[in-house]
């Protein structure tokens, strides 16, 4: 039996997914995607816009059906959303009428935890994301970075095995984004949850990740998966290291090739 306290990995085999717009022909978003995300690792997905990164993330989360192929974690086949998989969105997705504390208690309550235990757990995660003192604040009273901290705390408080993050820092300014990257890495080093992180920022992916999968232009396929590993040691000067910049340039060239491919006209 799987130990519920141990983070789980993800095995995706032959996954394809089509969208059918209300008007128009069916669109293939993903085609024959096979990918293994190691237990407790931080795995980034990169690729041109529209390549299916978010679609893949939502399939893992169970929000989109697995039409062809399979997705499996240590808890079994993924067929629908579940508490073992938590999602952090770009737009924060906080309840505007609830305070920071109430938002986080909501996530905890979905696991059936109430009373003093729930409040203690909520406070732990508020402290973890450095929002101590803002428990009674509403989302509209917080900066974008603070709102994203609250959204992250709400997801973490539900204690999912797997954390799915869809460009969570994309709407933040550069300074706040760097701070949030550092905070996320600090939290991940403590929890060792399995993370799948969608981003358009190559440097962000290299900084945060153990492994990076570059996806093709639509229909999305996994072109190549590379190791990174700069996240394993706290190094404030990592962005200036030659090996870091070389890795960023190598992966950027791969992504650029896919972007160029996406812009080519389809054959007649």
Look at residue 145 and tell me if it is in a domain: yes
What is the rounded CA–CA span in Å between residue 7 and residue 229? Answer: 19
User: Which pLDDT does position 236 carry in this prediction?
Assistant: 73
239 DSSP 8-state letter? G
Q: Which one, of 266, 186, 242, 254, lies nearest residue 216 by Cα? A: 254
Cβ count within 10 A of residue 218: 20
Look at residue 131 and tell me if it is in a domain: yes
Look at residue 167 and tell me if it is in a domain: no
Number of domains in the chain: 1
Whole-angstrom CA distances from 12 to 69, 72, 73, 241 are 8, 6, 9, 34
What is the rounded CA–CA span in Å between residue 39 and residue 123? Answer: 27
User: Which pLDDT does position 111 carry in this prediction?
Assistant: 77
Residue 84 dihedral angles phi and psi, to the nearest 5° = -75, -10
Strands 211-215 and 222-227: antiparallel
Cβ count within 10 A of residue 3: 8
Q: Which one, of 179, 80, 91, lies nearest residue 129 by Cα? A: 179
- Residue 4 has, within 13 A of its CA and on its CB side, a CA count of 6
pTM here is 0.90
Residue 88 CB contacts under 8 Å (≥ 6 apart), including other chains: 148, 151, 152, 155, 163, 164, 165, 166, 168
**What tokens appear for 248 in the block?**
């960023």
What is the rounded CA–CA span in Å between residue 49 and residue 258? Answer: 10
CA 174 vs. chain centroid, Å, equals 19
Look at residue 96 and tell me if it is in a domain: yes
User: Which pLDDT does position 3 carry in this prediction?
Assistant: 46
User: Which pLDDT does position 2 carry in this prediction?
Assistant: 39
Residue 7 CB contacts under 8 Å (≥ 6 apart), including other chains: 39, 40, 161, 162, 191, 192, 193, 194
The answer to whether the CB of 195 falls within 8 A of the CB of 188 is: yes
Residue-by-residue pLDDT tens, the chain, 268 positions:
334 444 579 999 999 999 887 777 788 999 999 999 999 999 999 999 889 999 999 999 999 999 999 999 988 999 999 989 999 988 778 999 999 999 999 878 877 888 999 999 999 999 999 999 999 999 999 998 999 999 999 999 888 999 999 999 988 888 888 888 989 998 999 888 999 999 999 999 999 999 999 999 989 999 999 999 898 877 778 888 999 999 999 999 999 998 887 676 655 4
User: Which pLDDT does position 113 carry in this prediction?
Assistant: 84
Look at residue 133 and tell me if it is in a domain: yes
Look at residue 134 and tell me if it is in a domain: yes
Look at residue 104 and tell me if it is in a domain: yes
The answer to whether the CB of 136 falls within 8 A of the CB of 99 is: yes
User: Which pLDDT does position 198 carry in this prediction?
Assistant: 96
Q: Which one, of 164, 159, 137, lies nearest residue 150 by Cα? A: 137
Look at residue 31 and tell me if it is in a domain: no
User: 97 is in which domain, residue-wise?
Assistant: 92-159
């Amino acid at each position: 039996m799987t130990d519920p306290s141990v983070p789980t990995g993800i095995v995706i085999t032959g996954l394809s997914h089509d969208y059918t717009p209300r008007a128009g022909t069916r669109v293939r978003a993903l085609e024959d995607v096979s990918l293994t995300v190691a237990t407790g690792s931080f795995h980034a997905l990169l690729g041109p816009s529209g390549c299916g990164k978010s679609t893949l993330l939502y399939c893992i989360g169970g929000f989109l059906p697995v039409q062809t192929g399979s997705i499996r974690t240590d808890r079994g086949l993924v067929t629908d959303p579940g508490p073992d998989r938590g999602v952090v969105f770009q737009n924060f997705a906080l309840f505007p009428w609830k305070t920071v504390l109430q938002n986080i208690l909501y996530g905890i309550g979905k696991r059936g935890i109430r009373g003093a235990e729930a409040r203690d757990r909520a406070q732990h995660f508020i402290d973890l994301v450095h929002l101590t003192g803002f428990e009674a604040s509403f989302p509209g009273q917080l900066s974008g970075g603070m709102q994203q901290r609250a959204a992250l705390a709400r997801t973490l408080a539900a204690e999912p095995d797997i954390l799915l993050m869809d460009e969570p820092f994309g709407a933040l300014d550069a300074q706040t984004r760097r701070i949030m990257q550092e905070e996320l890495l600090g939290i991940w080093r403590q929890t060792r949850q399995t993370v799948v992180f969608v981003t358009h920022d190559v440097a962000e992916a290299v900084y945060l990740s153990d492994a990076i999968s570059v996806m093709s232009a639509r229909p999305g396929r996994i072109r190549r998966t590379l190791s990174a590993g700069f996240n394993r040691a706290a190094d404030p000067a990592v962005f200036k290291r030659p090996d870091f910049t070389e890795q960023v340039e190598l992966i950027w060239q791969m992504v650029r090739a896919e972007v160029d491919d996406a812009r080519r006209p389809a054959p007649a």
